[in-house]
Chain A
Amino acid sequence: MTGIGRVRVEGVVKSHGVTTVLHGIDLAIEPGEFFVLLGPSGSGKTTTLRILAGLESVSAGRVLMDGTDVTTQEPGARDVAMVFQSYALYPHMTVAQNIGFPLKMVGTNAAEIERAVTAAAAKVGIGHLLQRTPGQLSGGQQQRCALARAIVRQPRLFLLDEPLSNLDAKLRLETRLELHRLQRSLGVTTVYVTHDQEEAMTLADRIAVFMDGRIVQVGTPREIYARPQTIAVAGFIGTPPMNLLAGVWQGDAVTVSGRRLPLAVATSTPRDVMLGVRPGDLRIDAGGLKARVERVEDLGDSSIVSFMADERPLKLKSDRLPPVREGEDVFLGFAPEAAHLFDPHSGLRL
């Protein structure tokens, strides 16, 4: 499959009447890549996926697949397969008929359909359920049936719209691993929509972060976590999200609530900044920012401590239980290189 499944989205705008839901989207997805569209609800990620599928028209811009402009092509002509959030299985057909449907529609002979259906069902572990109808399957089995229907005809592009969101937490973890294994074994370019950053971080080769109908950052999970390009991305990625504090950057330190906190970078001219520190980088430090312990949450393998520092909430994440009590005043600091600085006006990383 390598070599096919290259996708380009160029300046795509989508409007519904006076409401614009996509403001000029540009994307370049490489063959075989597992590409995740991540963002909060209403950020435009599902609309982008539906535009790739051909289920939505564009108001401006174009979509190219393997160098061919497919912007106005019908969904069926694009050679893409999609797994819907609801799975969209055909309730009156058996699992075998559901999986074989895309092949039947292109006139594949019955013997070949049976062989392909058996192979696809075996790949996702539902070979023993072929004669059941979707109504007789559990949520996880339905999801696998939808996956099998997508892989049976070896398309050039898989589109997955929050396929794990209807599964319980345990099954979601298992299926996530299997999905990754399946994608790697098939090597098919995959575009995956989710609002769950953990899913995005664990599955993606690269992530595009959507906010308010725009892509605000594209990068590997590590890049997006380590160097968020905007305050919005910094506040969205990470559990809990990054702590953000307004301060003044002067020399090699930032002053927050009258306390100088050292940085690894220096400036010659003082300026207002938004300081960002990941909860995992925050530590209890005698020379830091004064804060009151609000709540200690023991998660077993880790703990999250909530603080209030000068009316601003802060969170600290640690793999051990810090020796603090609720209501106690402590000082918080961080390693100079762990700080992220943003322009408070433009929201961009400095």
Chain B
Amino acid sequence: MNGRSTLRRIALAAIAGAGLAVWAFPVIWGLLTSFKTERDVLAYPPVWLFKPTLDNYREVIFGASSIVPNLWSSFVVSTSATLLTMLIAVPAAYALARLRYPAKRASGFYVLATQMLPPVGLIIPYYLVLQKIGALDTYAGLTVIYLTFSLPFAIWLMVSYFEDVPFEMEEAALLDRAGRLRALWYVILPQVRGGMAVTTIFVFLNAWNEFMFAVVLGGNRVRPVTVAMFNFISVEQTQWAKLAAGAMLAMAPVILIGIFAQRHIVKGLTVGAVKGGGRR
């Protein structure tokens, strides 16, 4: 029995290690590349031992091809999209989870249906609409487009958190003369705050990592970091080392959020799996 469980543990560790390697390889490759000179990057056979340099980081932060303005663009778009999404998604999800109103099922399905559309199919209509109203290459334009996919996702996620709060708790608040809005504020929202944190993080990360809409609907004024990194790839050459340094900087907030919010994120992913699992 003991031998079998040790064997089992080794096998599990091996499988987990293989999975981790597949995920980690590009990140490690990118990290190493960001400290190499262009010559070392292109060396064949690849060099594993090299003299690290910070030139690439200096260039992408302070140089002519600085991505700092683009990080700012990403921050503005992602933050605005996240704030607006949460502002709309929380009451919408509450209504879907709790209230009885005509066409509730239809509206619930509509929220999910928008998630089923392939985003690439929407680019041209979005482009034409934004062009028509003069919102191409504006923060407002890109933020509104981000709402079209972040809102259904956030509503769908928040509904499951609201449904996790017992009905009786809200009824008790109504009997305690809280009224519906104050019951939501004092009793329901504090219990879904963990879910709100997870949803906020997911929405922010989705917006931060978005590339396709940004490259088509952005421009010279609004150019998120995902698009800016594309500048390091040109017809003449690809500046792999600077691209890698840019990618590391762009990934930093994602990884930091991941580390700090790991506990919430894992809970968020397993919501509904265990009764009351995602309540706090």
CB closest residue in chain B, given A53: B175
* Cα A90 to Cα B182 with chains together (Å): 14
8 Å CB contact of A105 from B166, B168, B171, B178? B178
Are B191 and A84 in contact, with the CB atoms below 8 A? Answer: no
A88-B169, A92-B190 known; A105-B175 Cβ under 8 A:
no
Decide if B277 is an interface residue (CB 8 Å cutoff).
Answer: no
Name the interface residues of A75-127: CB closer than 8 Å to any CB of B.
75-77, 80-82, 84-86, 88, 90-92, 101-102, 105-106
CB closest residue in chain B, given A152: B176
Instruction: Please give, as numbers and ranges, the residues of chain A lying within 8 Å of B174 by CB-CB distance.
Output: 54-55, 74-76
Decide if B187 is an interface residue (CB 8 Å cutoff).
Answer: yes
Decide if B186 is an interface residue (CB 8 Å cutoff).
Answer: yes
Name the interface residues of B160-179: CB closer than 8 Å to any CB of A.
166, 168-169, 171-179
Decide if A144 is an interface residue (CB 8 Å cutoff).
Answer: no
CB closest residue in chain A, given B189: A92
The interface on chain A, measured as residues whose beta carbon lies within 8 A of the other chain's beta carbons, has a size of 22
Decide if A6 is an interface residue (CB 8 Å cutoff).
Answer: no
Name the interface residues of B135-192: CB closer than 8 Å to any CB of A.
166, 168-169, 171-179, 182, 186-187, 190-191
Are A90 and B187 in contact, with the CB atoms below 8 A? Answer: yes
Instruction: Please give, as numbers and ranges, the residues of chain A lying within 8 Å of B173 by CB-CB distance.
Output: 90, 101
Decide if A149 is an interface residue (CB 8 Å cutoff).
Answer: yes
* Cα A85 to Cα B174 with chains together (Å): 16
Are A81 and B190 in contact, with the CB atoms below 8 A? Answer: no
* Cα A149 to Cα B190 with chains together (Å): 19
8 Å CB contact of A149 from B176, B177, B186, B187? B176
* Cα A76 to Cα B178 with chains together (Å): 7
A88-B168, A88-B169, A105-B182 known; A82-B191 Cβ under 8 A:
no
Instruction: Please give, as numbers and ranges, the residues of chain B lying within 8 Å of A85 by CB-CB distance.
Output: 168
Instruction: Please give, as numbers and ranges, the residues of chain B lying within 8 Å of A76 by CB-CB distance.
Output: 174-179
List the 10 closest pairs (A to B, CB-CB), nearest first.
A76-B177, A88-B172, A102-B176, A88-B168, A92-B190, A75-B174, A105-B177, A84-B168, A75-B175, A105-B178
A residues in contact (CB < 8 Å) with B:
53-55, 74-77, 80-82, 84-86, 88, 90-92, 101-102, 105-106, 149
